[in-house]
Structure 1
Amino acid sequence: MPNYYHGVSTRQVDTSLSTPVTADCGVAFVVGAAPVHTVGGPVNEPVMVQNYAEAVSAMGYSDDWEKYPICEMIYSQFKLYSVSPVVFVNILDPTKHKKAVEEKNYPINDGKVLLPLEALKDSVRVTTYTVGKDYDLFYEGENLILEVLEGGTIPENTGELTISFDAVNPSAITENEIIGGFDTNTKKSSGLELYDSIFPKYGIVADLVLCPGWSHKSTVAAVMVAKAASINGVFEGKALIDVDTTEATHYADVPAWKKAQNINNKGQILCWPLVKLGDRVFHLSVQMAGRMGQTDSDNGGCPAESPSNKLLQIDSAVLADGTEILLDLQNANYLNSNGIVTALNFIGGYVLWGNETACYPADTDVKNYFTCVSRMFGWVANSLILTYWSKVDKKMTRRLIDSIVDSVNIWLNGLVNEEKLLGGRVEFREDENSTVALMAGKAVFHIFMTPPSPMKECEFVLEYDVDYVSAALTA
C-alpha cells in the first residue's frame, strides 16, 4: 500500500555552499625534556596546554633550560608572546633516565633541608627517620624540600641529616629517543612520531615543530622536516631548526655548517645564533615560534605576513659560551642570502631578520623560499582538507562539483578582500578530469593563488632636479 499522507510537511536539504573551516596556524609542537617528576606528568604523550598555569601543572617548571628545554618554550610562548595553544611531548622518563646519588650529610636550616630538583621524592631515604612521621617532602622552586615535622623524632638541635636518593638524569636522553618511533611490543609511539597523534586527539593542526637543544643534530632535523611535511599524511607544517653555535661561532661559518648538515628543505627554517633576555638564554627557534604565532594572530590567524623585521623579546644575541654577537646589516643579509634567519639590532631594537626558508638559494621558487608565501600555501591546503573532508564519498554529481567550486571561490575572494591573497580562484578543468578518472571517483580542482610577497627591498631613487633652481630663484 503506498504511503498515505494528508496535510503539510517540510524537509531540509544540505546547503549548496560550505562554510570554510580555517586551519590552525602558528601552533607549536615541542619535543624535549621537562621536570615531570615534580608534578607526576606524562612521558611520551602529547599534552595540549592553553596557558602558563596549565603548562606548569602538566610539565613542571625549572629555570635550568639546558636540562629541561620544554621549560624554555613554556616561558617564551606564555610569558613573552602570549601564544596558545602549545602541544608538548616530554621524553624524560623518571623510571628510566635516573641515577643513584650517594648518601651524604645535608644541613638543616629553619627546619628544612634543600635537595636538588632532580631528586625523586619517593626514593629519598633519611637514616633512622621515617617519611610522614619525622619529615615531609615537597617540590618548591628549584628544590625538593625536606621539612622536619613537629612531634617527630628528629631532635631540634640536629644540624644535619644523612640522606640518599635517586635523581632524574636528563643527560641520559639520546637523540634516538627524541626521534622516537613505534614500539611493536607496547604498540605505542614516542618522540617525534607522536606528531601524527595530535590531530586525532585534539582536532588541531600543529604547524610548527621544535626540538630546542636537539634540532641542531642532522638526524633530528631530518626527521622533524619529514614529519612536518606530511602531518597525518595530509597536512603541512614547518620545522624550526637551530644552528649549533659551538661549531658555527662566526656568521661567515654558518652557510658551510648548513651545507654539511644537509639542511636545504623548504619545510625547514634555520636560525642562528642564540638570543638572550636578561640572564635567560633562548634558542632563536623558540623565540621565532612565539614571534610567528603572534604575527599570525595579528593577521586573524593567517600566516600571510612575514615575521621578519618584527620585535623579539631579547636584548642581545649570543653563542653557547656566552660570547655576544653583534651583526650589522651586511652580516645579517649575508645569512639571509644563504637561507638563514637571524636577529638584528639596527633600527628600533632587536627584530627577527630573514624571510627565506632553508631551501634558499638552491631553490628559487617563490612559493618555496619565502617563508610567509610557503606557509600560506600550506595553510590554504590545510584549510581545504578540513573543509571538504566531509564531501569525501558523497555522490559525485555536477551539483556537488559546482558547490565546491563556488564555495572555494567565495572563500578565496574573501582572502583577497582581506589582502591575504593578491588573487585566487579555483577551476574544475576538463583536461585534468578525464572520463576514466571521473568514473573512478577522482575529481581534481585546480587552485590558482598568489600570496603577497614580503617587501624585503625598498628603494628610493633620488635625483637633483635643476628645474627647481630656476623656479625658485628666477625673478
Structure 2
Amino acid sequence: MTHGLTLTESADSTVSASPASMSIIGLVATSMAGPDDVAAEIDAAFPLNTPVLVTSVDAAAGNAGSLGTLKKALEAIGDQSSPIVVVVRVAEGETVAETDANVIGSTNGSSYTGLQALLAAESLLGVRPRIIGAPGLDTQAVATELVISAKKLRGFAYARAIGADVTAAVTYRDHFSSRELMLLWPDTNDWTGDAVARALGLRARIDQEIGWHKTISNVAMDGVLSITKDVHFDLLDASTDAGVLNDAPVTTIIQSDGYRFWGNRTTAGDDQPDFAFETATRTSYALQDVIASTIKPFIDHPIAVAQVKNFLEKINTAFRALVRDGKVVGAECFFDKDANTSAQLASGKPKFRIRFTPCAPMENPTIDLQITDFYYSDFADQLV
C-alpha cells in the first residue's frame, strides 16, 4: 500500500517552484593539496563522499586546494552567480576507470558515495540539488550516471560532448536519449570542464534573475576568454558549425557580444518530443514541486467536497500566478469525474489531472522578406 502522493506524467500534463529550490547546484569534483595547500584543511572543508553545503563559492574556492577540479569549478560558477552549491568531493583514481567509479559512487542503503551522495543532500543539509554536473570528470560513463541522478532529484544535468571536432561531437550525442541532459561543445578557457562549470553557474543565475522557463541559450557568460575550438556561426545560415551542432542537438558556444551558449535542446529521443527543450523538462519538475507543496497539507484529511474544492482552488491559484508571471503558457488542475469511481474514493485514492503548456523558446522565428513597388506609389506626390 502506498501512503503519500502518487504523481504520474504524460505528454499532455505537468507544473512550478520557487527560484531558490530550482537553482541549487549539485557539484561532484576532485580536490588535492598543491605545494602551498594544507591537506588537512581540504579534508576538513570537504570530507570525501560527504555532501557539503556551500553558501559562498568564493570562500569555498579558497579552501578547495589548487589541484583537481573543485577549485576551478567553483571559480567558474562564481563568475556567473553566487548560488547555493552542494559539493561532493571524490578521490582521483590511479586510472580514468578508477576515477569514473569514484565519481559514479555507490550506496549500500545506509551510506552514499560519489554522485549517489547528492541523493542524501536533502536529508543531511535540507536542500535538494537540481542543477547537476561533474565538470572535467564527465566521461560517457559518468554522464550516463548524471542522467540517472538527475531523474531521481527531479533535476537537470549538463555535460560535455566529447569529441575533437564537430563531427565527433555530433556522433557522441547519439549515446544519450534523456530529457534530463544537455550536452555542450566545445570547452572554454584552459581546462576541460570549464564550460560545464559555467553552465551550472549560469543556469543558477538565470533561475534567480529570470526563472526556470528561460533556457541557458543566448545569455552572455562572464569570465570566458576563449573557446577551445573555432565555431562558425551565422544567425541567417543554419549550415554553419553552430547549426549542425544544434541540429544534433548539441548546445555550442558562440562569440557574439560576448561568449554565450547557443542551443536550447536536451538529448531527449524521438519518443519524448514534448521534452525536447531544456525548459520543458525543468518546467515539469518545477511544477511538480508546486503540486507537492500544495497538496501536502491535504494528505490524510477527509475526502469531502469542501476539501477537494479547497485544494483545486489553491493549486489553480498557484498556476494562474505562474501564467501571469509568464513562466507557463497555461496550467490547470481538475477533478476527473470518470476516473474517480466511488470505490476509488472510498479507498482513499482520489485522482486529479493536470495539464500544462511550458514556454517554448523562440528558437527559429520565420520572417518573410517581400520585394514590392508599393513604396513608389506616391513617389510623384512627394516631389511636390
Query: What residue is the counterpart of 1:46 in the other structure?
Result: 51
The Cα of 1:418 is off from its aligned counterpart by 1.0
Contact 1:363–1:369 under 8 Å retained in 2: no
The Cα of 1:349 is off from its aligned counterpart by 2.2
Change (3 A) 1:428 1:291: same
Q: 2:233 aligns with which of 321, 328, 349?
A: 328
Query: What residue is the counterpart of 2:133 in the other structure?
Result: 210
Determine if the alignment matches structure 1 residue 253 to structure 2 residue 257.
Answer: no
CA–CA distance in structure 2, aligned partners of residues 172 and 468 of structure 1: 69
CA–CA distance in structure 2, aligned partners of residues 419 and 370 of structure 1: 17
The Cα of 1:183 is off from its aligned counterpart by 4.0
CA–CA distance in structure 1, aligned partners of residues 182 and 146 of structure 2: 11
Query: What residue is the counterpart of 1:464 in the other structure?
Result: 371
Change (3 A) 1:268 1:441: same
The Cα of 1:274 is off from its aligned counterpart by 1.1
Determine if the alignment matches structure 1 residue 285 to structure 2 residue 196.
Answer: yes
Contact 1:216–1:243 under 8 Å retained in 2: no
Determine if the alignment matches structure 1 residue 342 to structure 2 residue 260.
Answer: no
The Cα of 1:271 is off from its aligned counterpart by 1.1
The Cα of 1:53 is off from its aligned counterpart by 4.7
Change (3 A) 1:465 1:207: same
Determine if the alignment matches structure 1 residue 237 to structure 2 residue 155.
Answer: yes
Query: What residue is the counterpart of 1:75 in the other structure?
Result: 75
CA–CA distance in structure 2, aligned partners of residues 396 and 69 of structure 1: 53
Report how many aligned residue pairs link the two structures.
Answer: 352
Contact 1:339–1:359 under 8 Å retained in 2: no
Determine if the alignment matches structure 1 residue 312 to structure 2 residue 221.
Answer: yes
Q: 1:365 aligns with which of 256, 273, 276?
A: 273
CA–CA distance in structure 2, aligned partners of residues 447 and 420 of structure 1: 16
Contact 1:271–1:285 under 8 Å retained in 2: yes
Q: Equivalent residue of 1:181, what SS?
A: coil
CA–CA distance in structure 2, aligned partners of residues 213 and 34 of structure 1: 12
State the superposition RMSD in angstroms. Answer: 2.4
Query: What residue is the counterpart of 1:122 in the other structure?
Result: none
Q: Equivalent residue of 1:188, what SS?
A: coil
Q: How does 1:171-186 map to 2 (within 5 A)?
A: 173-183=98-108
Q: Equivalent residue of 2:31, what SS?
A: coil
CA–CA distance in structure 2, aligned partners of residues 34 and 173 of structure 1: 15
Q: As a proportion of its length, which structure holds more strand?
A: 1
Query: What residue is the counterpart of 1:89 in the other structure?
Result: 88
CA–CA distance in structure 2, aligned partners of residues 287 and 337 of structure 1: 23
Contact 2:231–2:253 under 8 Å retained in 1: no
The Cα of 1:408 is off from its aligned counterpart by 0.7
The Cα of 1:86 is off from its aligned counterpart by 0.4
Change (3 A) 1:250 1:225: same
Contact 2:264–2:277 under 8 Å retained in 1: yes
CA–CA distance in structure 2, aligned partners of residues 196 and 281 of structure 1: 26
The Cα of 1:397 is off from its aligned counterpart by 2.2
TM-score, with structure 1 as normaliser = 0.69
CA–CA distance in structure 2, aligned partners of residues 238 and 404 of structure 1: 29
TM-score, with structure 2 as normaliser = 0.84
Contact 1:33–1:170 under 8 Å retained in 2: no
Q: Write the letter of the residue equivalent to 2:86.
A: V
Contact 2:231–2:242 under 8 Å retained in 1: no
CA–CA distance in structure 1, aligned partners of residues 310 and 285 of structure 2: 23
Contact 1:92–1:173 under 8 Å retained in 2: no
In structure 2, list runs of 5 or more residues that go unmatched. Answer: 1-15, 34-38, 235-239
Q: How does 1:183-198 map to 2 (within 5 A)?
A: 183=108, 187-198=110-121
Q: Write the letter of the residue equivalent to 2:164.
A: T
The Cα of 1:172 is off from its aligned counterpart by 9.1
Q: How does 1:53-68 map to 2 (within 5 A)?
A: 53-56=58-61, 59-62=63-66, 64=67, 68=68
Query: What residue is the counterpart of 2:176 in the other structure?
Result: 263
Contact 2:86–2:118 under 8 Å retained in 1: no
Change (3 A) 1:407 1:311: same
Change (3 A) 1:49 1:387: farther
CA–CA distance in structure 2, aligned partners of residues 375 and 410 of structure 1: 21
CA–CA distance in structure 2, aligned partners of residues 227 and 47 of structure 1: 17
Determine if the alignment matches structure 1 residue 32 to structure 2 residue 36.
Answer: no
Change (3 A) 1:325 1:419: same
CA–CA distance in structure 2, aligned partners of residues 52 and 335 of structure 1: 32
The Cα of 1:358 is off from its aligned counterpart by 0.9
CA–CA distance in structure 2, aligned partners of residues 47 and 295 of structure 1: 23
Q: Equivalent residue of 1:33, what SS?
A: strand
Percent identity between the two aligned chains: 20
Query: What residue is the counterpart of 2:263 in the other structure?
Result: 354
1:432-470 Cα deviation digits (max 9, x unpaired): 222222222112221121121110123332222323212
Higher relative contact order (CA 8 A, sep 6+): 2
Query: What residue is the counterpart of 2:148 in the other structure?
Result: 226
Q: Write the letter of the residue equivalent to 1:174.
A: T
Q: Write the letter of the residue equivalent to 2:226.
A: S
The Cα of 1:34 is off from its aligned counterpart by 1.8
Contact 1:38–1:60 under 8 Å retained in 2: no
CA–CA distance in structure 2, aligned partners of residues 402 and 183 of structure 1: 44
In structure 1, list runs of 5 or more residues that go unmatched. Answer: 1-19, 98-168, 319-323
CA–CA distance in structure 2, aligned partners of residues 390 and 54 of structure 1: 39
Q: Write the letter of the residue equivalent to 1:46.
A: P
